[in-house]
Chains A and B, each alone.
Chain A
């Protein structure tokens, strides 16, 4: 009896040991999502893949860049890494596995048709699919607080004159009309790209590629519009001294400011679940009706602005990983219908066309309508958010702040950007 018990225990131990050792651990690092959100994906994936264990490590963005750099250079790093389109993916692509052969084998040769090209194009570098867009985001929306607008009998501005008029009314009622954390370059880029695409769609990307000078008259018109936003009282006077998150965003969510320029990554503010968390965090008692509207028509051509964007977070496989197969299994699941459905349920925009945004959790019917319009806006988006050349980004960031502060004229600012552009090694 005692001997049988020992044998049974040994068998249980061995089974447990071998099943544990047969489980492959895939390390996933990123700056986004947070741990709680990541766990949703991990739980769902591990439930259907008991042989793979996912270890997620979340970093602050700048810490992530430093840690990733050191680890990859020394032959380490995670199996799956979160990436941002533009500069980051361009710099890190030598460490990334080409996903094309994996995808062709798993999904067939037409697999690319399933992805929004807006996302996939920006992670494809010289024909190499360096990552998969996990979820997309596009900038170009002026988000407004409809509750505040309704109280004052206002409607979303569709032209620049209307925008100025709405701003004046809000100001008369002691409400900051529009808020922007212009301390942060990224939000200034978003606004300037939107303005440039409003004047001459796509020209800013030609300038980035060195095909058009930054002093081009259309880009100058966009820079004058940028200056106008400050001169005409749309932008708050202290915009350059505040951050977009948390300062500007929180002021808008709390109803202190009526409008803000963000993208569809802000969709969560229309979700009952997410909004309750925000209300609790910021002690907001009222349930505001937040809605997005396209950038007002700035140049009088009768057409409002367009969205522009790409992958919010892309996921790639470290080509030095010893768990590439398991990493691929997880990555392919993340862009599968099951993985993308979780994305859509949080009102983030899926990277594949077969999964739609899930509007079941929105607070107001108008928000469901706004969400329904988004795929169309995404399909007709004009280009990307992330510029490719870091030195050009820095020069443009400085130029925008200098024009905003009145230190330089729009012409001088664009001349300085053009000087840097000419020195870029493309």
Chain B
């Protein structure tokens, strides 16, 4: 594996049995993601974006083929090793934010660091730094139900990046946000990508996100239809 390749998939196939029939979500995906990429899986619903993201994130295993993440073959990982991979190296951002409702903003962001066993002082600094990146330090004590959708997603971003993972996987991160909040969130993620060299892989069909991507991988019926490099960023935004 090339040292700069964080993620490599080879002939990746995922088939879901549905009673007597089966649905092919991924039909032989061959992709490579390098360190610091800001890329996205683009396509309509059912094209296999989320399935691919889940396999890369070691939340699911392929039916056949391989997915290598940071040198580890996802299909061979035990539950414990998959959990350790996610815990140490992968951050997740979800469409519905998935914040822990009984925790404060601070506690939500702190959660991954608690799992890592980080000492309290370092943990506090890391949490406050992450909240600073997303401009939410003043809402540290708030509960998720006291925040707007945009603020919730910024908390989710802070939670995903607080441990400074190599990879952040964002599944439709702007689907529940208005245009202004979407651009604000994407700007924040671009800043983190630039400053921390974190690799971002999105799953989206939202044009607002697509405008920000530097690499667009179009999926159709579980296959890569197009893989193109572009240089939009903030400047390319209409």
A-B complex is real: no
A→B interface (CB under 8 Å): none
